[in-house]
Amino acid sequence: MALLEVKDLEVGFGLRSGEVKALRNISFSLERGERLGVVGESGAGKSVLGFAILNLLSRPGYISNGEISFEGKNLADLSAAELRSVRGNRISMIFQDPMMTLNPVLTIGEQMVECLLAHHKISKQDARKIALQKLQQVYIPSPETRLDQYPHELSGGMRQRIVIAIGLLMDPDIIIADEPTTALDVTIQAEIMELMLELCERNNVALILITHDLGVVSQVTQKTIVMYAGRIIEQGPTKEIINDAQHPYTQGLMNALPQMGIPGQRLNQIRGSMPPLQRIPTGCAFNPRCNYVMESCKHNLPEFTQSGGCQVACHMVAEMKREEQAARLQSQEVGQE
Ligand code: SF4
């Protein structure tokens, strides 16, 4: 049984102008200790997915279809208290901006102790000891001193380490990290990603890493989901996706990565931008931006085609696979004659 299983998840937003779908047909699973990257540009639905898993969607957003199961139990069937316990103890979330997690008027120690006391029947002294251990785990220098400091007294990188320490407080099974390094300097970004990788491996914690950066995903995750306009358009082993992206959108994201050792080279951006939810094109939502668009792309939604270890939602890939199969059959027939 998978640790987390998402099946046909659909999220709607009830707007005055009518309902729009922010997520459609999202299905994937996550095993214990596994690291999954969720990639796409802003507006692809990545963060909505993170909030939906935690049942933290704020109105007018709501889960309109599908199932999210944790250790085989559908989260929709849990009581409010059970759900709070899963959210607090078993699945935790790390946000892009540490100040979204940290309370500016409480010291780091007060926040961590408060969090522990809300979930465990332990003394304040014991809670402070656990908080100290967690700060040591994320390599915070002078952890004793930091416990008595306020968030504004710390650097951005240090604040994000503390947010990770808070994320680890309850020894969760899954951490959902939403762009955890975007607000940081490039050198600090690499340190934080290395730290997350080390902590997940050491504690056998599963990670859902939400990011716009395929480069980060390639360093940390084993599986990747690429999202566009609220749908998964390619998913599979990260190595395969990085080395041989099949979907034109994934290829565009790869080409947009800065190339090492080529100074002055212009970045290849994907032309156009992500469509707003109210105006998602019919057929393949990527068709107005795609260099390989065919007539059928404008009318028919592409279904998943298996290509190696990946699933790809693209008419062109489906056609190529059909042609490959036909060629194979033909050569087998010739061989038998
Ligand atoms: Fe491009 Fe068509 Fe594939 Fe969409 S389905 S990515 S428009 S080739």
Quickly state the pLDDT bin for 269 (edges 50, 70, 90).
Answer: confident
The Å distance, Cα 291 to ligand 1 centre, comes to 8
**Kind and range of the H or E element at 232?**
strand 231-237
Tell me: the pLDDT tens digits for 162-220? 999 999 899 999 999 999 888 778 888 888 889 999 999 999 999 999 999 898 899 99
pLDDT of 86-124, one tens digit each?
A: 987 899 999 888 887 899 999 999 999 999 998 889 999
CB-defined site of ligand 1, < 6 Å:
247-248, 284, 286-287, 290, 292-294, 297, 302, 314-316
Atom index in ligand 1 nearest the CA of residue 297 equals 2
Pairing of strands 310-313, 304-307: antiparallel
Does residue 261 register a pLDDT over 60?
A: no
Compute the distance from residue 242 Cα to the ligand 1 centre, in Å.
19
Beta bridge partner(s), residue 94: 177
pLDDT at 260: 53
- Sheet with 61-70, strands from edge to edge, namely 18-30, 4-15, 61-70, 73-74
pLDDT grade for 284, boundaries at 50, 70 and 90:
very high
Instruction: Give the separation between CA 236 and CA 239, rounded to whole angstroms.
Output: 9
Local confidence band at 224 (pLDDT 50, 70, 90 cut-offs): very high
Residue 152 φ then ψ, to 5°:
-70, -15
3-state SS class at 24: strand
Lowest mean pLDDT among 47-56, 180-189, 289-298: 180-189
Which one of 294, 303, 305, 311 would you pick to mutate in the ligand 1 pocket, going by the greatest count of ligand atoms within 8 A of its CB?
A: 294
DSSP symbols for 53-119: HTT-PPTTEEEEEEEEEETTEEGGGS-HHHHHHIIIIIEEEE-SSHHHHS-TTS-HHHHHHHHHHHH
**pTM flag (> 0.75):** yes
* CA 313–ligand 1 middle distance (angstroms): 8
Nearest CA to ligand 1 atom 5: 314
For ligand 1, the distance from its centroid to the CA atom of residue 26, given in whole angstroms, is 19
Please tell me the distance from the alpha carbon of residue 205 to that of residue 247, in angstroms, as a whole number.
30
Instruction: Look at residue 70 in the predicted model and tell me its pLDDT.
Output: 96
Distance from the first to the final alpha carbon of the chain: 47
Per-residue pLDDT at 191:
86
Q: How far is the CA of 160 from the centre of ligand 1 (A)?
A: 38
Could you give the C-alpha distances from 168 to 18, 45, 60, 87, in angstroms and in order?
40, 25, 30, 13
Averaged pLDDT score across all residues of the chain? 92
